[in-house]
Amino acid sequence: MEKRILVKDRYFVPYIPYERLEKAIDAVAERINQDFKYFDGTPIILCVLNGSILFTGELMKRLTFPCEFSSIRLSSYEGTLSTGVTRKVLGLTSSIKGRTVLVVEDIVDTGKTITDLHALLLDAGAADVKICTMLLKPEVYKKDLKLDYVAMEIENRFIVGFGLDYDQLGRNYKDIYILDDRKTQAMKHFLIFGPPGAGKGTQAARLIERFGLRHVSTGDLLRREIAAGTPLGLKAKTLIDKGELVPDEVVEGMIASELDAHTDVEGFIFDGFPRTTAQAEHLDAMLAERGKKVDAVLSLMIPDQTVFERIRHRAEVENRVDDTKPEVIQNRIDTYHAKTEPVIAYYKGKGVYREIDGLGTIDEVFDKICAVMEEYK
């Protein structure tokens, strides 16, 4: 089973693996076969659409007596909460008058849907109606109607997979997953800004360890995708080899892949992206598609003179001769202001921009950042 899945805007974690479902279906099919072994007639196996499609298919493969298939669709769910109102959407595809009907449901919780359907079938002329459900929530099922066959009992939690959905999504998973409220609420998305020499990389590394975040650096992503030979990496390498800039859509594709590949972390911290207002808008759209948003932009502020001194010192230590030239350093500072200030204005307009004094020791600056981030826990 996957560790964690995203269905629309909610996260779900593993609950019941397919192997356990198979064993439960084997057992319930055996009980049904015994009861219908000498049945005089041909019962109708009635699949309740859409949730019980997978269960019905697996069950019918195991039934050893003559039977007819039909279907009906009712619903009492919108999102993750029951509306308490059963609506008939699709009618029966076979006549049930005078027939024995075995209703196959995916899950029974409050029992509103199944008791309404039971009454509806009897009113339509069925001679007998038996109920088979893959899952039962005994904690909330308080109806008098007897359920003839129950494959498995579960706790009263919202689940998806094996035919069960969240707003029509998630039915295709062969395993069953349970709603993970804590993780859904915990995931956060931070951006760390600052001029060259502000210590973004150093602080990001410490924040990752402290808050369980995933570090997203566009430079690291490019190198990793190229090394792995992915389609995006190959495209980026071709452009780089030609001396061309990697376009936004390639970088954004890598970021989207990173978001989707790590759904089990507490959140992300972006370093070096976005660099332009257009990239910021695209990041917002990317997160919105996943039901997320930028929670805070952490901007490490240090004076230009400090930037100048730190860049020159780093260049001397790392023997970067060109970076020790005053005009080169000043150009980097000017470029930072020209490209970054519009992005800062964009996030100020969103109300998520937070300035942090970047002067002081590494520990002192880290404590300042943590004080801001604690507000978003």
Which residues are catalytic, by number? 200, 275, 314, 320, 332
Q: How far apart are CA 47 and CA 53, in angstroms?
A: 7
DSSP 8-state class, residue 161: B
Tell me the chain's radius of gyration from C-alpha atoms: 29
Q: Which candidate, 167, 96, 94, 103, places its Cα nearest to that of 134?
A: 103
Q: Which long-range contacts (CB under 8 A, 24 or more apart) does 244-253 make?
A: 246/222, 248/276, 248/278, 248/279, 248/282, 251/218, 251/221, 251/222, 251/279, 252/279, 252/282, 252/283, 252/286
Q: How far apart are CA 35 and CA 173, in angstroms?
A: 31
| Residue burial 359-377, b: 16+ Cβ < 10 Å; e: rest | eeeeeebbebbeeebeeee
Q: Is residue 151 a contact partner of residue 28, using CB atoms and an 8 Å limit?
A: yes
Longest Cα pair distance anywhere in the chain, in angstroms?
Answer: 97
Q: Is residue 294 a contact partner of residue 350, using CB atoms and an 8 Å limit?
A: yes
Q: Which candidate, 276, 336, 332, places its Cα nearest to that of 300?
A: 336
Phi-psi region of 170 (alpha: psi -120 to 50; beta: other; left: phi over 0): left
Q: How far apart are CA 211 and CA 374, in angstroms?
A: 9
Q: How far apart are CA 30 and CA 64, in angstroms?
A: 9
Q: How far apart are CA 261 and CA 350, in angstroms?
A: 27
Q: Burial-class residue 144 by CB neighbours within 10 Å (0-12, 13-18, 19+).
A: exposed
